[in-house]
Amino acid sequence: MEPLAKLFGSAARLKLLRLFLFNKDTAFNLKEITSRSKLSKEITRKELLEMTTLGLLKKKGSRATARYQTNAKFEHLNALDVFIRETTNVRPEDMLSKLRRSGSLRLVVLSGLFMGIDEPQIDILIVGDNLDERILAQAIRTLEAELGREIRYASFPTPDFRYRQGVYDRLLRDVFDYPHRLLIDHIGL
């Protein structure tokens, strides 16, 4: 268990804190919360009750139609937000182990939210051979659950990437002209 999960009592609470703090203006129902956090309904209900009791979350509607949203009037919201943002990260090794299941990776580049840029085109660029898009999407959803926010990604077969690189594709320029980090480079950039 990571140190923050111990500090906040459980990994489930940490996932939900990240979800609500990184999506302050969004109200979620129970189904959306369990789907995004990959937690069971029972654990999610328990944590939502505690967070609502503390005043961190607002609940709108009855049990069946209840929607939960970050309470903007929570007195420690700004401090908690800064703390969670500064300490939230996924180790590159963990990220790569999840992504490798999708196929033979040739290039993995982190940009966007991983580099502190709020409005990027994409957050992860993945180039590989024989990529299974279904498994790749599942790996990304798992990473999203850990981070508490949506990850924008693009994946290409190696020949498509080389073509886009040759024609100075705007998406690639947006990644490589701004801060980025190479996790895997078997292409030779």
Query: What's the pLDDT at 185?
Result: 92
CATH topology classification for 3-87: Arc Repressor Mutant, subunit A (1.10.10)
Query: What's the pLDDT at 112?
Result: 83
Query: What's the pLDDT at 144?
Result: 86
Q: What stretch(es) of the chain map to CATH 1.10.10.10? A: 3-87
Q: What stretch(es) of the chain map to CATH 3.30.460? A: 92-185
Class of the CATH domain delimited by 92-185: alpha beta
Query: What's the pLDDT at 87?
Result: 75
Parts of the chain with a pLDDT under 70: 1-7, 88-89, 118-120
Closest by Cα among 96, 102, 132 to 114: 96
Sheet holding 104-110, edge to edge: 153-157, 124-129, 104-110, 181-185
pLDDT tens digits, residue range 15-37?
Answer: 898 889 888 888 999 999 998 88
Query: What's the pLDDT at 1?
Result: 45
**Which two three-digit tokens encode residue 19?**
């979800």
